[in-house]
Amino acid sequence: MGSLNEVELVLFSIITLIILENLFEVYIALRQVKVFKTANKVPEELKDHMSDETFHKARKYGLDREQFGICKCLLMDICVIPLELYFGLMAYMWQAALYWVKYFKLNADNEIIVSCFFVVLISLHGYLKDLPFKLYATFVLEQKHGFNKQTVRFFIWDQVKGLLVGNILTILVSAAVVFIVQWGGEHFFIYLWVFAGVLSLILLTIYPIFIAPLFDKYTPLEEGELRTSIEKLAASLKFPLTKLYVVEGSKRSSHSNAYFYGLWNSKRIVLFDTLLLNKGKKDITDLKDEDKGKGCTNEEVLAVLGHELGHWKLGHVTKNIVIMQINLLLIFFTFNYLFKYAPFYEAVGFAPGVKPILVGLFVVLSYVMAPYNAILGYAMTILSRRFEYQADEFAQKLGFSQKLSQALIKLNLDNLGFPIHDWLYSSWSHSHPTLLQRMHRLQELDEADKKKK
């Protein structure tokens, strides 16, 4: 049992770290807000593509989103979460879990059973806290700027499915984690690491096949010029393409995307219908006026996929998985040495001697390792931006430079992306280089190729 001063030191150190980290996030967000308010001219590089009207729409959209994010951070992360810690919310949740375990006449001495009830209660609490912000973001902010496509009925059903699937997975994983820690002895962190690695590979495999279709409709890309071109590109790069899908993302949002997934020799490419010109439809009579003309041409879609396949060819996915596994080993190793430290539990409201494994894991990972997580997050952002430049260069070498630039501009316009950013905000927050940075880099590569000739 830690002394009262030691417990208080732990509690107030955690609260101080949370407040300082989020104040920094607010600070850099305010820097970007200043940019939104003061940048009034379309950059020279985009004057032929972006009208003043679109520029100001993007500025207003970006400003609304950033101000919303700041308000949410101030209220939830700087006020509510420290208060929850101070008043011992997790300990109350644990007691509530014990109550329900006894109510259903289950074994209250079995930590695995209690932990399963605990994670469900924590999940529901977090969901209810976030729901007003989610509703505002979807039906006010996104609706105001023309991006929300969800009906209230679709939103409710989507949330129900998300809660059910999320809680089922959380219960299974939590039960396994508690069992491994109890069973694994002094070196449980190694078994926990192996479990996490196997689980991540399983989820990477089954999520797109079995879980993602519960939320969105996936259909094979119809035969035609685009499909033939994609298959030829994949074959030329020896990309083991087995399936090519279009996801009906337009029922959720008008934002665009494309990605691939799958392990080893079974890869699948997914295109959002919003990425395709006129949602990929030949007959556009049923399209709303605001959707007509949006999206990328076949050549531009191919350029985007050239970039995405560059990530695969250059091993970026594998490198990220390796980094994730090394990080997990370090996290579990740290947890192994810290989770028995009594003041961590007493600081968040537990009685002396009560040390639930999941609570210890949450406190160590989320709060004790917060400075490390922030540094790692920034390092991964830097690495991600480097990977994006490399993938752009790969697409450029395939001859897609011009079409990729056009696609990036078009996607930026369709998504009302604001092209001007504060340097600190961008370097800290953006996993991708900005539109102008990517355009400049592609131009530099083209000019370098011309000089070689």
For CA atoms 78, 81, 84, 88, the dihedral sign is negative
Task: Please tell me which residue in 84, 346, 392, 422 is annotated as part of the active site.
Answer: 392
Nearest to 150 by CA among 135, 165, 133, 166: 135
Q: In what order do the strands lie in the sheet with 241-247?
A: 218-220, 241-247, 267-272, 258-261
Rg of the chain (C-alpha set): 25
User: Is residue 392 among the annotated active site residues?
Assistant: yes
Q: Which DSSP letter does residue 276 get?
A: B
- Reference 276, options 411, 158, 182; nearest CA is 411
For tokens 């596994």, name the residue.
Answer: 325
Residue from 111, 308, 393, 414 carrying the catalytic annotation: 308
Report the C-alpha gap between 442 and 390 in whole angstroms: 11
CA-to-CA separations, 16 to 8, 11, 23, 71, 163, in angstroms, rounded: 12, 9, 10, 19, 32
Which are the contacts of 49, defined by CB distance < 8 A and separation ≥ 6? 409, 413
311 is in an annotated binding site: yes
271 φ, ψ (degrees, to nearest 5): -110, 130
Round to whole Å and give the CA distance between 231 and 412.
Answer: 26
308 assigned to active site: yes
Question: Residue 328 contacts by C-beta under 8 Å, 6 or more apart in sequence?
Answer: 193, 196, 197
How far is 253 from 247, CA to CA, in rounded Å? 12
Sign of the Cα torsion 294, 295, 298, 299 reads positive
Cβ contact 176:195 at 8 Å: yes
Q: How many CB atoms lie within 10 A of CB 412?
A: 22
Q: Is the CB of residue 120 less than 8 Å from the CB of residue 171?
A: yes
Q: How far apart are CA 368 and CA 338, in angstroms?
A: 9
Dihedral of CA atoms 245, 250, 252, 256 in degrees, nearest 10, equals 70
3-state secondary structure of 443: helix
Binding residues for Zn(2+) are: 307, 311, 388
Binding residues are: 307, 311, 388
What residues are annotated to the active site? Answer: 308, 392
